[in-house]
A and B are shown apart, each in its own frame.
Chain A
Amino acid sequence: MKDLWQTAFITPLKEFLKQVSAFLPHLLAMLVILTLGILVAWVLKILVFRLLKTMKFDQLCGRTGFSQALAKGGMNEAPSHLVSRMAYWAITLIFLILGLGALNLKPVDEFVALAISYLPHLIVAFVILIVGFLLGNFFGRATLIAAVNAQITQARFLARGVRLAVILFALAMAFEQMGIATAVIVAAFSIAFGGVVFALAIAFGLGAKDAAKDFIEGRIKKEQAPKEEDFSHL
């Protein structure tokens, strides 16, 4: 009976306690790393925020239309706040991965190795997305202004098209960078982009042939007609 008790309960319990006591320092190390990470992330968040304020990052975002785009998306936070918060979570995530590595568990180690090797792709993809978004806004606004000044009534449609095309392009590049369905993304983008151009060509050539004719005739007549506004602005 005593042997049975020893074999069935005491030995496994001892083994378990031994494993727990072997694991505890790793857990403690992970908790220390995580706590340190949160602390570092918090300090870095403040530093990034102050640096961005000094660099007048909010004004830069205002100029490029990024702030307005964020506001449209329901984010009324200042971009400097947003970026510093993102820096906080990025650092916390990195320390979390390092902490998990400290657990010294084989599946976790494999996951950590994978995550670390994937991290640069993720960062590059994120940067591509941000730059694409900023460029999309910038070119969209430039198109809107140029089209309105040229008195094109479909100016907003044109501007949205340009903005969307740039963002879509950036999105395709970001997905490719992350290695997500690379072939599908490239094919989908090519088909979508080519499709839009083809649809526009057909719409203009067939569906709107009268409108195209009127437009071209109007342009020719306008060029031939004496200029209405003949005064010098300067």
Chain B
Amino acid sequence: MRLTWITRSDLLLLRAELQNQLQQIGPCDILVGIPSYNNAKTIGHVVRAVSAGLAKYFPEAKSVLVNSDGGSLDGTPQALADAGVDLQSIFIPHRVNPLNKISTPYHGIPGKGSAFKLIFEIAQMLQVKACAVVDADLRSITPEWIELLLRPILKEKYDYVTPYYHRHKYDGTITNHIVYPLTRALYGKRLRQPIGGEFGFAGDLANYFLTKDVWGTDVARFGIDIWMTTTAIARDAKVCQAYLGAKIHDPKDPGADLSAMLAQVVGSVFSLMEENERLWKTIVASEPVSIFGFQYEVGLEPVPVGIDRMLKAFELGLKEFLPLWEGVLPQEVLAELKSMCPVTPAVKFADDLWVRVIYGLAIAAHRKAMTWEHLLRSFTPLYLGRVASFVLETQELSHGAVETKIEELCKVFEHQKPYLIQQWDHSSTQGGVS
């Protein structure tokens, strides 16, 4: 939990200072935003990569780098200010326009979404043509990322760019098992990393994001990534992907609460389903999305996975939550979940059951079968069970084979979409599970 104690007069002073700074800078072509919180170790590298990328690929453009900080206590703003890059050592001539740097704390609900809101506001004030946002904990970012995220906007007239990385087969499990297959089935776009963390977008789209009143919701926290991607698709923005190689970042805060993170992301997806109901119901299949960048194989470090712990969490959840899910999930789903107890390492959480669980949750959230917070948080053990089952099943498989398995899962999500629509409509009229 991060808290920045700031008085109203401090805030006004800060705002005035920022306004002055922005007026001095004037209109810009490019803005690169870096949301941060205690990233002193890595932000220097990220800033150097961004600076080099802007100098190398957009030397003529007037650019600004904005760090929106959540009240870091480890000297992140100082690390950002100190970060410099010797352009000559990487064969880049001096920039025509020097890079402007702004580091300012954001206010509002602590979270990435609030940091992004400030970046959008600055983008609007500076009337930028293209924006990119990159995480401050990245270790694998290179100058090329900046080109790949911004060139589709500036030269190819795209509106929104999502990243496309090579990640370890067990990295990004919420993305692989929920967000990617679900958004693909709902909105028909095969965006492999819809919540990747690095995005490029047109200045107009940033202005459009600001018109939405979502900054007091989970969007202000971990829900921002999926919200931006879905909002862009729903606005019929021209979307593409940028191949960025490997994604290696600092380990996340071990104290971060998985169930809160899961609830925020999945809750945002479900809220967006309510908002875009008319759109997703009409989409029947998915289509590939263009990928820019030269694709190559990357070596990925193995990641340890605590299967025993996940299985224990799954079993405890099944034992304690089954009565809670009565009347929330369909009876046949509950029966299948019940049959998995006692949980052993031979447990198999099949794709078909998993999809029915996710769709069942979406419908339960739609008909408000339980307080959203309780509903989404009670889902954590099921998620851990699915991840453990998937890891056990794919331990011996290569990265490519695991991608094929995820592709199969996506097809099940798409295949069962008519069931989702039917149950959704039924719950809208009857208010129950059929």
A81 to chain B, nearest CB (A): 15
Could you tell me which residues of chain A, from 178 to 208, have a CB within 8 Å of some CB in chain B? none
Nearest chain-B residue to A142 (Cβ)?
A: B374
Give A148 to B171 CA distance when docked, in angstroms.
24
Contact between chains at B254 and A148 (CB < 8 Å):
no
Contact between chains at A151 and B304 (CB < 8 Å):
no
Q: Which residues of B sit under 8 angstroms from A141, Cβ to Cβ?
A: 324, 374
Could you tell me which residues of chain B, from 53 to 84, have a CB within 8 Å of some CB in chain A? none
Verify if A228 is at the interface (C-beta below 8 Å from B). Answer: yes
Contact between chains at B251 and A230 (CB < 8 Å):
yes
Nearest chain-B residue to A144 (Cβ)?
A: B320
Contact of B265 among A58, A156, A227, A234 (CB under 8 A): A234
Contact between chains at A234 and B374 (CB < 8 Å):
no
Stretch from B11-19, B97-105, B118-126, B172-180 contacting the other chain = B172-180
Verify if B6 is at the interface (C-beta below 8 Å from A). Answer: no
Nearest chain-A residue to B173 (Cβ)?
A: A233
Contact between chains at B368 and A153 (CB < 8 Å):
no
Contact between chains at A63 and B197 (CB < 8 Å):
no
A166 to chain B, nearest CB (A): 16
Verify if A175 is at the interface (C-beta below 8 Å from B). Answer: no
Q: Which residues of A sit under 8 angstroms from B254, Cβ to Cβ?
A: 227
Contact between chains at A151 and B312 (CB < 8 Å):
yes
Contact between chains at B175 and A229 (CB < 8 Å):
no
Contact between chains at B303 and A148 (CB < 8 Å):
no
A6 to chain B, nearest CB (A): 76
Could you tell me which residues of chain B, from 291 to 325, have a CB within 8 Å of some CB in chain A? 303-306, 309-310, 312-313, 316-317, 320-321, 323-324
Contact between chains at B371 and A234 (CB < 8 Å):
no
Verify if A88 is at the interface (C-beta below 8 Å from B). Answer: no
Contact between chains at A138 and B371 (CB < 8 Å):
yes
Contact between chains at A231 and B370 (CB < 8 Å):
no
B320 to chain A, nearest CB (A): 5
Q: Which residues of B sit under 8 angstroms from A229, Cβ to Cβ?
A: 304-306, 309-310
Give A63 to B378 CA distance when docked, in angstroms.
13
Could you tell me which residues of chain A, from 220 to 234, have a CB within 8 Å of some CB in chain B? 227-234
Q: Which residues of B sit under 8 angstroms from A153, Cβ to Cβ?
A: 316
Q: Which residues of B sit under 8 angstroms from A149, Cβ to Cβ?
A: 258-259, 313, 317, 377, 380-381
Nearest chain-B residue to A146 (Cβ)?
A: B377
Q: Which residues of B sit under 8 angstroms from A145, Cβ to Cβ?
A: 259, 321, 324, 374, 377-378
Q: Which residues of A sit under 8 angstroms from B323, Cβ to Cβ?
A: 68
Verify if B363 is at the interface (C-beta below 8 Å from A). Answer: no
Query: How many inter-chain contacts with C-beta < 8 Å in the A-B complex?
Result: 97
Given contacts A59-B367, A59-B431, A233-B262, whether A228 and B309 have CB atoms under 8 Å apart is yes
B375 to chain A, nearest CB (A): 9
Contact between chains at A231 and B171 (CB < 8 Å):
yes
- Best-surrounded residue of A59, A63, A146, A232 (most CB of chain B within 10 A): A232
A27 to chain B, nearest CB (A): 48
Verify if A155 is at the interface (C-beta below 8 Å from B). Answer: yes
B169 to chain A, nearest CB (A): 10
Give A230 to B173 CA distance when docked, in angstroms.
12
Give A141 to B396 CA distance when docked, in angstroms.
40
Give A228 to B373 CA distance when docked, in angstroms.
27
Verify if A64 is at the interface (C-beta below 8 Å from B). Answer: yes
Q: Which residues of B sit under 8 angstroms from A56, Cβ to Cβ?
A: 368, 431
Q: Which residues of B sit under 8 angstroms from A58, Cβ to Cβ?
A: 431
Q: Which residues of B sit under 8 angstroms from A155, Cβ to Cβ?
A: 316, 320
Verify if A62 is at the interface (C-beta below 8 Å from B). Answer: yes
Give A151 to B384 CA distance when docked, in angstroms.
12
Q: Which residues of B sit under 8 angstroms from A227, Cβ to Cβ?
A: 251, 254
Given contacts A144-B320, A148-B320, whether A232 and B172 have CB atoms under 8 Å apart is yes
Give A162 to B156 CA distance when docked, in angstroms.
59
- Best-surrounded residue of B312, B321, B380 (most CB of chain A within 10 A): B321
Contact between chains at A233 and B316 (CB < 8 Å):
no
Q: Which residues of A sit under 8 angstroms from B252, Cβ to Cβ?
A: 232
Q: Which residues of A sit under 8 angstroms from B197, Cβ to Cβ?
A: 234
Q: Which residues of B sit under 8 angstroms from A230, Cβ to Cβ?
A: 251, 303-304
Give A227 to B320 CA distance when docked, in angstroms.
26
Given contacts A144-B320, A144-B324, whether A234 and B195 have CB atoms under 8 Å apart is yes
Contact between chains at B381 and A59 (CB < 8 Å):
no
Verify if B170 is at the interface (C-beta below 8 Å from A). Answer: yes
Verify if B327 is at the interface (C-beta below 8 Å from A). Answer: yes
Contact between chains at B370 and A151 (CB < 8 Å):
no
B239 to chain A, nearest CB (A): 20
Could you tell me which residues of chain A, from 24 to 51, have a CB within 8 Å of some CB in chain B? none
Contact between chains at A232 and B377 (CB < 8 Å):
no
Contact of A59 among B175, B368, B380 (CB under 8 A): B368
B313-346 to A contact mask, C-beta < 8 Å, 1/0:
1001100110110110000000000000000000
Contact of A233 among B174, B225, B431 (CB under 8 A): B174
Contact between chains at A234 and B172 (CB < 8 Å):
yes
Give A62 to B371 CA distance when docked, in angstroms.
9
Q: Which residues of B sit under 8 angstroms from A64, Cβ to Cβ?
A: 371
Nearest chain-A residue to B256 (Cβ)?
A: A233
Given contacts A149-B381, A229-B309, whether A63 and B370 have CB atoms under 8 Å apart is yes
What are 23 pairs between A and B in contact, CB < 8 Å? A56-B431, A59-B367, A63-B371, A65-B370, A144-B324, A145-B374, A148-B317, A148-B378, A151-B309, A151-B312, A151-B316, A156-B320, A228-B309, A229-B304, A230-B304, A231-B303, A232-B171, A232-B172, A232-B252, A233-B172, A233-B174, A233-B262, A234-B172
- Ordered nearest first, which 9 A-B pairs have the shortest CB separation? A228-B306, A229-B306, A231-B303, A149-B259, A233-B174, A231-B171, A148-B320, A145-B377, A63-B371
Q: A145-B324, A231-B173, A232-B171 are in contact. List 14 more A-B contacts (CB 8 A).
A: A59-B431, A63-B370, A63-B371, A64-B371, A141-B374, A144-B324, A145-B259, A149-B259, A149-B380, A155-B320, A230-B303, A233-B172, A233-B261, A234-B222
